[in-house]
A and B are shown apart, each in its own frame.
Chain A
Amino acid sequence: MILGYAGKVLEVNLSTREIKETKFNDKLLRDYIGGRGLAAKILWDRLGNKWEKVDPLGPENILLLLTGPLTGFFPGGRTCVSGKSPQSNGVIGSTVAGEFSVELKCAGYDGIIVTGEAEKPAYLFVKDEDVEIRDASNVWGKDAKQTVSILTKECRELLNKRFPKKGEWKEPAILYIGPAGENKVRTAVVAAKWTHAAGYGGYGAVMGSKKLKAVVVKGSMPLPEVADMEKVKELIRVVCDDVYESELWRRWGTGSAGYEVGAKTSSEPIRNWQEEWHNEKSFGVDQFESKVWVKPYWGDFGCPTTCLKIAVVKTGKFKGAITDNPDYELQAYLGTNLGIFTPEENVFLASLIDDLGLCGIQTGNVMGFTAELFQRKILTKDDLDGLELKWGDAEAFAALAKKIAFREGMGNLLAEGTYRAALKIGKMKGVDVLQYAVQSKGIGIGAHGIRSEKDYPESYSYACSVQGGDHTSTACLPLDDFRSELIMTFNDSAVYCYFNIFGVPRNLKFEFYKAVTGIELTQEDWVNTKALRILQLQRAMLLLGGPDLKWKPKIHDSNPPRFYEPLPSGPYRGKTVDRAKVEGEIRRYYEAVGWDENGIPKTEVLKKLGLDDVDNALEKLR
């Protein structure tokens, strides 16, 4: 058994209520590590031969909650959530911060595989080897804050009753869905601690389709044995010292970017990306700091960065709104992208989005898209059930978010996400509205534009990513670049927060991996073999797609039309992405990762990686 792992995975079939333990052999764990890599492997092995037919929101889909060998040891604990994505129909390694993964490893499990579909709302309660499927009817329909509060109380009482002499039990860790997940909204998240979310992928809808409201875990064992604890301690110190010294992400989190990414790099979505530059000083980090941040540092297990800041609106119209920061992505998507430029309105919307269990990025993307259609009079007040969706009207967007979460009226259509909604609205109105959809392969693009070339400079960042619009996993050359999708795959497979590695030597993560597992892994071996293998699996499942949508590289390995419009304002006014140049760069990227001119992984590359079955499955696409 490889060190650093608990050594087994919990497998729960919600249809049959069967609970068992599954073990993965050492070779498989060496190759796929954990988290995102392991998720791709499990999904391919179990669903690969029928991938195109698997409905992401049907009982045959598999929900994965996975840790990695570095989880709990590397500062900044996260959990990787995966499955067949109801957004891209491929596989996303979506991670969420918090103590869940640490509790899970301490309970003796490296992950949870959830299959089937519960008959009625259920939650899973794991206390070490005691695992039970419990009735969730008292929390079904409840928002994030109510769910956390009820389940924390209920499960602590259970623990106190079962172990009366133990003393006070700390709260167990909880992953849950809000009403949006229950209603199978494709922009729903799997969330933790009110404000933390695995957003990309739409796995809240998968959890909802299985009628699984939450997973609650208390582990009382230590984290697994490691190969060299002294070395682990030393490397933790290197990471922490760097973070404390550099203060990068620590003081403001990403909360300074709501102003800076607009004002300085011209790459912030504004009114559905019609602009990417603004100079609204009302949205400066100092305003968030002095008006709404009541707790300046909030973090998760072992994290020196604590990039989160708790924000509360204590007076005025939006009194009572609570969220974290908001971080940059939500400043942009629930702020500037909707024409909103004040901390109070931004906190109000982020708080509501948390409560509903929606993804701030994806929902902000589809709401911005809708507002632009309203601006262009393609959608009317009548289409929107009486809503005047004007830029900057936080209350109108709040009303729309609720409609989406509960699939009411127009919300039912928008709950399908920007791309699917665009197809339907286009048909309904007889207008091509895909030109206003800022997404890639069903996934709304993260709040970092490429037109100014000052932020995410690759013209193919999103076009070639196996995770579509996910800004935390973008395509980049050379393949071993710090920002490359292949390097990001390591963070999400070993499962820790990459915000803690910005300032440390690039090789530290592999040294850390060796100190924990005892296994030598070079960056070269990772990039050229292991990560490349995971990438091919993800690419294969993305292209096989289905059942409702399929992606054709010639059409869909491209940027949203908006990115080819010149920037209309700011210091980079006029700059845009050159179509001819992108095509050349996409081909260069295909070549580097071993895809043919049509974007399909090449036979010889797949065979060399031992993926013969993937090669067979892709034959029909060639």
Chain B
Amino acid sequence: MRLPTEKKQIWIARDLSRCSGCRRCEIACSLFHEKRIWPEASRIRIFMLVPGTDFPHFCAQCEDYPCVQACPAKALSVSRETGAVLVDKEACIACGQCVEACPGRIPHMHPTEDYILICDLCGGEPQCVKVCQEGSWNVLRIVSKGDYSYNLYARKPEEIARNLALKIYGEEGDKLI
């Protein structure tokens, strides 16, 4: 049990089916990390494998951090403060083993540099959540990190797209993916 005075870690709660596909999160994330509007370098990415099933795909901070464990170069670590996965750009050898280890294949390589991109929660103030809240989409919301199986949210894009297609389009969804 945490003491009330202790600073709690955050988690970005996500309600995927509410995503409008406005991609302001990609813009905010890439502006924060890269100082450019750069969708492919955004740590949060909107997938739209089936039109209308747009959803954000980004690190879920699994309890067991399989990506960190899989890294042969010790380039990945867990922030004590935020619980986010931190990437040591210099140490990363761009081998892609973290991608294979992640149940959702969420990490992706920087488009022009040789290191992996993983959400770092912007050091505790995620920019994606800010813009999502501005639009009152409520897809992304900051909550206190609890004792839940967050790794459930680390799923492959195809699986999420299929789920959403069935949810939105009913049986038609099967034909659309």
Of residues 277 through 336 on chain A, the ones whose CB sits less than 8 Å from some CB of chain B are 294-295, 297-304, 306, 310, 312, 314, 320, 322
Q: Knowing A298-B20, A298-B21, say if A166 contacts B108 (CB, 8 Å).
A: yes
Q: How far is the CA of A300 from the CA of B46 in the complex (A)?
A: 11
Is A457 positioned at the interface, with any CB of B under 8 Å from its CB?
A: no
Quick check: B168 and A312 within 8 Å, CB to CB? yes
Q: Which 10 A-B pairs have the closest CB atoms?
A: A167-B108, A222-B38, A165-B96, A222-B36, A220-B111, A297-B20, A193-B51, A306-B20, A223-B37, A167-B99
Distance in angstroms from A546 CB to nearest chain B CB is: 38
Distance in angstroms from A167 CB to nearest chain B CB is: 3
1/0 per residue, CB under 8 A from A, across B109-142: the answer is 1011000100000000000000000111100000
Complex contacts, B96 vs chain A, CB 8 Å: 164-167
Q: How far is the CA of A315 from the CA of B24 in the complex (A)?
A: 35
Is B52 positioned at the interface, with any CB of A under 8 Å from its CB?
A: yes
Stretch at the interface among A145-153, A340-348, A502-510, A596-604: A145-153
Contact check: which of B24, B27, B137, B172 meets A312 at CB < 8 Å? B172
Quick check: B41 and A222 within 8 Å, CB to CB? yes
Complex contacts, B99 vs chain A, CB 8 Å: 165, 167-168
Quick check: B94 and A168 within 8 Å, CB to CB? no
Q: Knowing A167-B99, A194-B51, A223-B38, say if A304 contacts B135 (CB, 8 Å).
A: yes
Is A24 positioned at the interface, with any CB of B under 8 Å from its CB?
A: no
Is A564 positioned at the interface, with any CB of B under 8 Å from its CB?
A: no
Q: How far is the CA of A294 from the CA of B18 in the complex (A)?
A: 11
- In this complex, the member of A233, A295, A320 whose beta carbon has the largest number of chain B beta carbons within 10 angstroms is A295
1/0 per residue, CB under 8 A from A, across B151-177: the answer is 000001100000000001111100111
Is A608 positioned at the interface, with any CB of B under 8 Å from its CB?
A: no
Is A219 positioned at the interface, with any CB of B under 8 Å from its CB?
A: yes
- B residues near A, CB below 8 A? 17, 20-24, 27, 30-31, 34-41, 45-52, 54, 57, 94-96, 99, 105-109, 111-112, 116, 134-137, 156-157, 168-172, 175-177
Closest to A102 in B: B39
Contact check: which of A156, A244, A295, A302 meets B136 at CB < 8 Å? A244
Contact check: which of B41, B47, B137, B176 meets A171 at CB < 8 Å? B47
Q: How far is the CA of A73 from the CA of B23 in the complex (A)?
A: 12
Complex contacts, B94 vs chain A, CB 8 Å: 165
Q: Knowing A149-B177, A170-B47, A312-B169, say if A229 contacts B22 (CB, 8 Å).
A: no
Q: How far is the CA of A145 from the CA of B172 in the complex (A)?
A: 11
Complex contacts, B156 vs chain A, CB 8 Å: 168
Complex contacts, B23 vs chain A, CB 8 Å: 99, 300-302
Complex contacts, B107 vs chain A, CB 8 Å: 167
Q: How far is the CA of A241 from the CA of B131 in the complex (A)?
A: 11
Quick check: B134 and A240 within 8 Å, CB to CB? yes
Complex contacts, B38 vs chain A, CB 8 Å: 106, 221-223
Q: Knowing A106-B38, A106-B39, say if A302 contacts B24 (CB, 8 Å).
A: yes
Quick check: A73 and B37 within 8 Å, CB to CB? yes
Is A72 positioned at the interface, with any CB of B under 8 Å from its CB?
A: yes
Quick check: A310 and B39 within 8 Å, CB to CB? no
Q: How far is the CA of A545 from the CA of B108 in the complex (A)?
A: 51
Q: How far is the CA of A475 from the CA of B94 in the complex (A)?
A: 57
Is A183 positioned at the interface, with any CB of B under 8 Å from its CB?
A: no
14 pairs from A and B in contact (CB 8 Å cutoff) = A99-B23, A106-B40, A164-B96, A165-B109, A166-B96, A167-B106, A220-B111, A222-B36, A223-B36, A229-B35, A240-B135, A294-B169, A303-B22, A304-B22
Complex contacts, B36 vs chain A, CB 8 Å: 222-223, 225
Distance in angstroms from B45 CB to nearest chain A CB is: 6
Q: Knowing A304-B135, A312-B168, say if A149 contacts B111 (CB, 8 Å).
A: no
Q: How far is the CA of A84 from the CA of B39 in the complex (A)?
A: 33
Distance in angstroms from A458 CB to nearest chain B CB is: 34
Quick check: A322 and B134 within 8 Å, CB to CB? no
Quick check: B108 and A295 within 8 Å, CB to CB? no
Contact check: which of A168, A303, A304, A320 meets B108 at CB < 8 Å? A168
Is A94 positioned at the interface, with any CB of B under 8 Å from its CB?
A: no
Contact check: which of B27, B51, B105 meets A302 at CB < 8 Å? B27
Distance in angstroms from B68 CB to nearest chain A CB is: 16
Distance in angstroms from A267 CB to nearest chain B CB is: 30
- In this complex, the member of A156, A225, A297 whose beta carbon has the largest number of chain B beta carbons within 10 angstroms is A297
Q: How far is the CA of A242 from the CA of B34 in the complex (A)?
A: 27
Q: How far is the CA of A241 from the CA of B109 in the complex (A)?
A: 33
Quick check: A304 and B51 within 8 Å, CB to CB? no
Complex contacts, B177 vs chain A, CB 8 Å: 149
Complex contacts, A225 vs chain B, CB 8 Å: 36
Complex contacts, B172 vs chain A, CB 8 Å: 312, 320, 322
Quick check: B168 and A297 within 8 Å, CB to CB? no
Quick check: A322 and B169 within 8 Å, CB to CB? yes
Is A558 positioned at the interface, with any CB of B under 8 Å from its CB?
A: no
Is A517 positioned at the interface, with any CB of B under 8 Å from its CB?
A: no
Quick check: A298 and B27 within 8 Å, CB to CB? no
Is A67 positioned at the interface, with any CB of B under 8 Å from its CB?
A: no
Distance in angstroms from B61 CB to nearest chain A CB is: 18
Quick check: A297 and B137 within 8 Å, CB to CB? yes
Q: Knowing A171-B47, A219-B40, say if A298 contacts B52 (CB, 8 Å).
A: yes
Closest to A72 in B: B37
Q: How far is the CA of A233 from the CA of B36 in the complex (A)?
A: 11
Complex contacts, B169 vs chain A, CB 8 Å: 294, 312, 322
Closest to A173 in B: B48
Q: How far is the CA of A170 from the CA of B158 in the complex (A)?
A: 11
Quick check: B40 and A220 within 8 Å, CB to CB? yes
Quick check: A300 and B27 within 8 Å, CB to CB? no
Complex contacts, A306 vs chain B, CB 8 Å: 20-22
Closest to A73 in B: B37
Closest to B172 in A: A320
